[in-house]
């Protein structure tokens, strides 16, 4: 009997249901989809970062046997599709018409009977370019004599995009005027790329008879994409069906709409056959959503060892089109969470953005709208302040933490932190690390000529956007639906608006239903990704699946349980108020032998309901989160530097996370492992760099370095649990914490190894060459 | 060779290979990559493509028992040889020890690198049934996983090795 077995709901490390198909090569990624009559689309991309297009000759390409169409911007313009809106209210070229504005920009598309033919034909397209000055830094972009990149935009006379501020300037100025010490840091969070192992792509299938467009695409936000497709292409929304099949990772890269999706759909519409677009790795790295590229200046006002003020100025490099994926009101995302885990009474953040001749994107790579850059800056600043005041970095943090009794805590830039106990997470991390002993060992090692560094980062995240009044994407409120149907035999289907990219939704969301309704998780099938068959919502990114859709799943389950109680009362001939819920069954109070299981009730819902009751046992709930959730933790890293080469090696990496209540601890640990690895990668090697002509220097996996099992450190995890007071399960998000918190911990560790010699900063990626240069300067080289 | 083939520059050959124990044959362009032969000609889509530079190893299959990146092998080079793909890992008794290990130890998330990782692990354990953690990490160091941080992949291979010892 189901009710007597332990229900494997919240807190159980249930092995994943989705594994079975992936383990046997039975996954269904978009590139596995092959439709009858399908054609293949390939792009010709710009070799220049900035150039005027004088002419495009497609005649030789069109003559290749097997080529069905060659599409140019001029052709798209005839259908009003040459430009598309971005997620930040700007426009982006689908195919270049007047100019190319970054290397790798889509210039023309060939549609052919095979992908090999499409590639062959692309090489035959002749484009006459007139190269222009390539602008590769936002500083140069904002100089008065810089050429205007977006000269096609009416009223755009420079490369400036936005100015945006948060906090209280006057109060902050006062804090600085009264400070007894000011600590500054200039640092650059370089451009990197999420680089999911599966690149982007789609199969667009517009049925000429019905007019229905079915688009299988790599989408983290299928519903939002359907609405945007309707707006961009002018197609009726009920005639668009987005199917996001299995995704081979996303990490933010699959949030925006790319020219490939639009071109494939337009081609299918015009030709009347399905069209597949498969992005190659170079296309992925040079043209789709990059991340970071923030030039940051931070200052802390200190008085008696306390931080009394924070001043931040930030200049973002947004590339050729402002297409950051972020809420409309927040031009620099949630970067103003930059006060971090600290009780800072006054803060002021000024931000500005500029166009450059680099790829557009500005996605939050495993990050909630720029919290990563903010967390990095404050954790580096705090470390610097500790050195400058002669206090141990750990003690300096502790004396400035927001205290547990201060929650809910209103930050100086306007956030309301829901819950936290930063000291507890830090203490656990330090205990696991053996911090006090390590500091002594560091001293001893130094005496022997060895350089050991200990780095700490105590991050706070802000995830789960978000309340509809404040947070939107392209005007759409960030609320998500969950639809739950209980079948007569007590098996269930849960339909969600979010979309797993590997996070294990098919298991963890089934566990939420299990917890709320007393079904076993394997009796709940979770469906996502098909906009014709799931409720509306904004999708999976910014660690919002559990905070928003997890809450929606709880709430719809509770709604169904309320109806189930009425049916149970009918079956037991008892009053509804006389029933008790015992996870999986309703029991008559004082008569434990009288009970009905949820399965009994489910059957009755279709066979024996009280007079006047609507049949069935199903519901839908749209959740509008009252607030964000604020996961936090402390990461502590120990490194050793080779004084001869500047190479550094991670000796220890301890990560204590507090994401509130954990639904599936195994899956949570997996998310943390992955996030720590990407955090390490960003700190150590991942870089999308450009030369002075705007050539992308990280255009493939030989140049854009991804850590393998050999480089990746081993991780030691710990947890504290501080539930979110407003989430129905007390859960917060966890998918991104480690990528947010880890880079500062790694960099702090390397800097710490050199801090005694006066080194205060190293820029990411912290390469051996950069460390070697610092060793030279500090006279520490061997 | 047909006249049309000469005109378009397409040279074709018939390739026959033993794939997961069964003889499979297809007419292919000589420039066709092995990964495309498997995915497109034979419909074995469990083998994935993650890069263009032999860096990521998502396309790893076993060629005569040795892991190769099938994006850097021509289909014609597989003529007469034995290929094992992820579709061939499970036996009549169900999942292989390596597949079970990945499931038990949460060694996969998005599943995209998983087929290649499991094939390399299978080849490793065939050669070295009791590898150290370092040997496992070295064996899979030609492949990229973006989700797991490798820690649970290592545990998955250790799990499979332990099962082998019991068996």
How far is it, in rounded angstroms, from Cα A69 to Cα A87? 29
Say yes or no: A634 and A496 in one domain. Answer: no
Distance from CA of A622 to the nearest CA of B (A): 27
- Residue where a domain stops, chosen among A574, A601, A623: A623
Exposure b/e, A239-253, CB count within 10 A at least 16 = b:
ebbbbbbbbbbbbbb
Mutate to test the interface with A, among B30, B88, B151 (most CBs of A within 10 A): B151
Among A24, A29, A666, select the one facing B106 at the smallest CB separation.
A666
When divided into structural domains, chain A yields a total of: 4
Q: Are residues A611 and A731 in the same domain?
A: no
Catalytic residues of A: 220, 366-367, 736
The CATH class for the domain spanning B3-85 reads: alpha beta
CATH code for the domain in which residue A658 is found? 3.30.365.10
Q: Which of A190, A188, A175 is nearest to A412 (CA)?
A: A175
User: Following DSSP, what letter does each residue of A483-513 receive, concatenated?
Assistant: EEEE-TTS-EEEEESS--SSS-HHHHHHHHH
- The answer to whether residues A50 and A135 touch, using CB atoms and an 8 Å cutoff, is yes
Residues A458, A470 within the same domain: no
Answer whether CATH 1.10.150.120 is correct for domain B97-166. Answer: yes
Q: Are A105 and A222 within one domain?
A: yes
Burial class (CB in 10 A: 0-12, 13-18, 19+), A644: exposed
Predicted confidence at residue B8, as pLDDT, reads 53
- Asked if the Cβ–Cβ distance from B146 to A700 is below 8 Å, we say no
Say what the pLDDT of residue A252 is.
96
- Tokens representing B121? 């692990």
Handedness of CA A271, A273, A277, A278 (dihedral sign): negative
- Which member of A197, A677, A709 has the closest CB to residue B141? A709
* Dihedral angle of Cα A382, A386, A388, A391, to the nearest 10 degrees: 170
Same domain, A550 and A577: yes
Q: What is the CA radius of gyration of chain B?
A: 17
Cβ distance of A248 and B149 shorter than 8 Å: no
**B85–A26 C-beta distance less than 8 A:** no
Chain B residue with CA closest to A117: the answer is B8
Q: How far apart are CA A351 and CA A163, in angstroms?
A: 6
Determine the Cα–Cα distance for residues A413 and A338; give it in Å rounded to an integer: 8
Nearest to B50 among A65, A197, A503 (CB): A197
Note whether A192 contacts B: Cβ–Cβ < 8 A. Answer: no
Cα separation of A324 and A380, whole Å?
25
- SS3 annotation, A648-707: EEEEEEEEEEECECCCCHHHHHHHHHHHHHHHHHHHHCCCCCECCCCCECCCCCCCCCCC
DSSP-assigned letter for residue B42: S
Domain map (residue ranges) of chain B: 3-85, 97-166
Residues in A 464-503 with any Cβ partner in B closer than 8 A? 501-503
Both tokens assigned to A451: 């350089």
Chain A interface, best mutation among B7, B137, B146, by max A CB count within 10 A: B146
Torsion, CA B65, CA B69, CA B73, CA B77, rounded to 10: 10
Tens of pLDDT, residue by residue, chain B (167 residues): 344 444 455 699 999 999 999 999 999 999 999 999 999 999 999 999 999 999 999 999 999 999 999 999 999 999 999 999 999 999 999 999 999 999 999 999 999 999 999 999 999 999 999 999 999 999 999 999 999 999 999 999 999 999 987 65
Facing B90 at nearest CB: one of A24, A198, A702: A24
Q: For chain A, which ranges sit under pLDDT 50?
A: 1-3
DSSP string, A122-190: HTT-EEEEEE-PPP-SHHHHTSTTSPPTTTTSTT--SSEEEEEEEE-HHHHHHHHHT-SEEEEEEEEE-
d(CA A470, CA A480) in angstroms, rounded, equals 15
- Residue A328 domain boundaries: 137-191+292-356
Are residue A55 and residue A145 in the same domain, yes or no? no
- What is the three-class DSSP state of A285? helix
Q: Which single residue is written with the structure tokens 């497709």?
A: A229
Sheet with A51-57, side-by-side order of all strands: A99-100, A51-57, A126-131
Cα–Cα distance, B88 to B69 (Å, whole number): 17
Whether residue A24 and residue B87 make contact (CB cut-off 8 A), yes or no, is yes
Q: Across chain A, which distance is largest between two alpha carbons, in Å?
A: 87
Is the CB of B146 less than 8 angstroms away from the CB of A19?
Answer: no
> Looking at the structure, do residues A122 and A145 belong to the same domain, yes or no?
no
Residues with Cβ within 8 Å of residue A477, at least 6 apart in sequence: A468, A471, A538, A624
Residue in chain A nearest B112 by alpha carbon: A248
The whole-angstrom separation of Cα A125 and Cα A111 is 13
Which of A591, A623, A655 corresponds to the end of one domain? A623
Q: Which residues of A touch B146 (CB under 8 A)?
A: 195-197, 249, 251, 674, 678, 706
Candidates B33, B103, B149, partner chain A, best to mutate (most A CBs within 10 A): B149
Contact A731, A554 (CB under 8 A): no
Tokens of A234: 């002018």
DSSP A548-562: IIIHHHHHHHHHHHH
Q: What are phi and psi of A123, to 5 degrees?
A: -70, -15
* CATH number assigned to the domain comprising residue A243: 3.90.1170.50
Do A163 and A306 belong together in one domain? yes
Q: First vs last Cα of chain A: how many Å apart? A: 70
Identify the domain boundary among A623, A657, A672: A623
Q: Are residues A649 and A736 in the same domain?
A: yes
Answer whether residue A474 is part of any domain.
Answer: yes
User: How far is the alpha carbon of B152 from chain A, nearest alpha carbon, in Å?
Assistant: 8
CB B146 within 8 A of CB B51: no
Closest approach of B80 to chain A, Cα-based (Å): 24
Tokens of A203: 């199969």
**If DSSP codes are grouped into helix, strand and coil, which group holds residue A107?**
strand
CB A564 within 8 A of CB A555: no
- Asked whether the beta carbons of A104 and A286 are under 8 A apart, the reply is yes
Contacts of A590 (CB under 8 A, 6+ apart): none
Pair A245, A330 in one domain: no
Residue B1: per-residue pLDDT? 39
Distance from CA of B149 to the nearest CA of A (A): 5
DSSP states along A206-272: E-TTT--EEEEE--S-HHHHHHHHHHHH---GGGEEEE--B-S--TTTTSS--HHHHHHHHHHHHHS
Of A720, A662, A604, A678, the closest CA to residue A372 belongs to A678
What SS3 class is residue A350? strand
Three-state DSSP at B144 gives coil
pLDDT digits (tens, 9 = 90+) for A257-311: 999 999 999 999 999 999 999 999 999 999 999 999 999 999 999 999 999 999 9
User: Are A742 and A780 found together in one domain?
Assistant: yes
Q: Are residues A665 and A605 located together in one domain of the fold?
A: no
Q: Which structure tokens are listed for A726? A: 């407003």
The answer to whether A107 and A127 have CB atoms below 8 angstroms apart is yes
Query: In the structure encoding, which two tokens stand for residue A774, read together?
Result: 């610092």
């Amino acid at each position: 009997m189901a009710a007597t077995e332990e229900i494997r709901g919240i807190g159980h490390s249930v092995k994943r249901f989705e594994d079975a198909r992936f383990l046997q090569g039975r996954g269904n990624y978009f590139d596995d989809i092959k439709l009858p009559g399908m054609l293949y689309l390939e792009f010709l991309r710009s070799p220049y970062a900035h150039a005027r297009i004088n002419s495009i000759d497609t005649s030789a390409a069109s003559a290749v046997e097997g080529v069905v169409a060659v599409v140019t911007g001029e052709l798209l313009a005839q259908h009003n599709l040459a430009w598309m809106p971005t997620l930040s209210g700007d426009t982006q070229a689908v195919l270049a018409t007047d100019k190319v504005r970054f290397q790798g920009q889509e210039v023309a598309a060939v549609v052919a009977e095979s992908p090999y033919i499409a590639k062959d034909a692309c090489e035959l397209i002749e484009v006459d370019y007139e190269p222009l000055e390539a602008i590769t830094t936002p500083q140069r972009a904002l100089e008065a004599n810089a050429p205007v990149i977006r000269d096609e935009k009416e009223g755009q006379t420079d490369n400036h995009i936005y100015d945006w501020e948060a906090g209280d300037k006057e109060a902050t100025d006062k804090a600085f005027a009264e400070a007894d010490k000011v600590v500054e840091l200039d640092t650059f969070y370089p451009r990197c790329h999420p680089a999911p192992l599966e690149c982007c792509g789609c199969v667009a299938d517009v049925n000429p008879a019905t007019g229905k467009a079915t688009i299988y695409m790599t989408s983290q936000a299928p519903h939002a994409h359907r609405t945007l497709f309707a707006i961009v292409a002018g197609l009726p929304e009920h005639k668009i069906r987005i199917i996001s099949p299995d995704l081979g990772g996303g990490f933010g890269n699959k949030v925006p709409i790319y020219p490939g999706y639009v071109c494939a759909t337009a081609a299918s519409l015009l030709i009347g056959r399905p069209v597949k677009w498969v992005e190659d790795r170079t296309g992925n790295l040079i043209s789709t959503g990059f991340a970071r590229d923030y030039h940051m200046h931070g200052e802390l006002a200190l008085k008696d060892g306390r931080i009394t003020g924070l001043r931040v100025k930030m200049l973002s490099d947004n590339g050729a089109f402002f297409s950051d994926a972020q809420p409309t009101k927040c031009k620099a995302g949630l970067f103003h969470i930059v006060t971090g885990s600290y009780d800072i009474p006054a803060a002021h953040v000024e931000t500005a953005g500029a166009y450059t001749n680099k790829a557009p994107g500005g996605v939050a790579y495993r990050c909630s709208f720029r919290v990563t850059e903010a967390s990095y800056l404050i954790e580096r600043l705090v470390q610097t302040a500790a050195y400058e005041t002669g206090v141990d970095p750990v003690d300096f943090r502790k004396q400035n933490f927001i205290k547990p009794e201060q929650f809910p805590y209103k930050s100086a830039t306007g956030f309301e932190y829901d819950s936290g106990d930063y000291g507890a997470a830090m203490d656990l991390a330090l205990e696991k690390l053996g911090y006090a002993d390590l500091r002594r060992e560091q001293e001893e090692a130094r005496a022997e000529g060895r350089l050991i560094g200990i780095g700490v980062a105590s991050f706070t995240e802000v995830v789960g956007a978000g309340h509809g009044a404040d947070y939107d994407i392209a005007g759409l409120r960030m609320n998500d639906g969950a639809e739950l149907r209980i079948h007569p035999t007590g098996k269930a289907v849960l339909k969600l608006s979010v979309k797993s990219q590997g996070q294990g939704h098919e298991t963890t969301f089934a566990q939420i239903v299990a917890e709320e309704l007393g079904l076993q998780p394997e009796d709940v099938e979770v469906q996502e990704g098909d906009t014709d068959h799931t409720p509306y919502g904004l999708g999976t990114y910014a660690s919002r699946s559990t905070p928003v859709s997890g809450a929606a799943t709880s709430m719809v389950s509770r709604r169904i349980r309320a109806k189930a109680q009425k049916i149970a009362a009918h079956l037991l001939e008892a009053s509804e108020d006389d029933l008790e819920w015992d996870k999986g069954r309703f029991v008559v109070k004082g008569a434990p032998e009288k009970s009905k299981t949820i399965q009994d009730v489910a059957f009755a819902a279709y066979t024996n309901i009280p007079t006047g009751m609507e049949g069935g046992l199903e519901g839908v709930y749209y959740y509008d989160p009252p607030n964000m959730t604020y996961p936090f933790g402390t990461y502590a890293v120990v490194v050793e530097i080779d004084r001869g080469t500047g190479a550094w090696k991670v000796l220890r990496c301890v990560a204590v996370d507090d994401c509130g209540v954990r639904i599936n601890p195994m899956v949570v640990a997996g998310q943390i492992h992955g996030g720590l690895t990407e955090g390490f990668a960003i700190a150590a090697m991942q870089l999308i760099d450009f030369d002075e002509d705007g050539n992308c220097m990280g255009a493939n996996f030989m140049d854009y370095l991804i850590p393998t099992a050999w480089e990746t450190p081993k991780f030691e995890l710990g947890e504290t649990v501080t539930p979110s007071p407003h989430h129905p399960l007390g859960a917060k998000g966890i998918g991104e914490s480690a990528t947010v918190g880890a880079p500062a911990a790694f960099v702090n560790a390397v800097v710490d190894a050199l801090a005694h010699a006066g080194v205060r900063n190293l820029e990411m990626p912290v390469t051996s060459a950069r460390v070697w240069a610092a060793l030279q300067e500090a006279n520490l080289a061997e | 060779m047909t006249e049309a083939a000469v005109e378009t520059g397409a040279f074709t050959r018939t390739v026959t290979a033993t794939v997961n124990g069964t003889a499979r044959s297809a007419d292919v362009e000589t420039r066709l990559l092995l990964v495309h032969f498997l995915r497109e000609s034979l419909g074995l889509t469990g083998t994935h493509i993650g890069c263009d530079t032999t860096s990521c190893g998502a396309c790893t299959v076993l060629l005569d028992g040795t892991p190769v990146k099938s994006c850097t092998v021509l289909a014609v080079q597989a003529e007469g040889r034995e290929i094992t793909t992820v579709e061939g890992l499970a036996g009549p008794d169900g999942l292989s020890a390596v597949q079970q290990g990945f499931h038990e130890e949460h060694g996969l998330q998005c599943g995209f690198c998983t087929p290649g990782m499991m094939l390399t692990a299978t080849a490793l354990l065939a050669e070295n049934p009791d590898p150290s953690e370092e040997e496992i990490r070295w064996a899979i160091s030609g492949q990229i996983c973006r989700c797991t941080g490798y820690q649970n992949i290592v545990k998955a291979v250790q799990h499979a090795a332990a099962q082998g010892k019991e068996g």
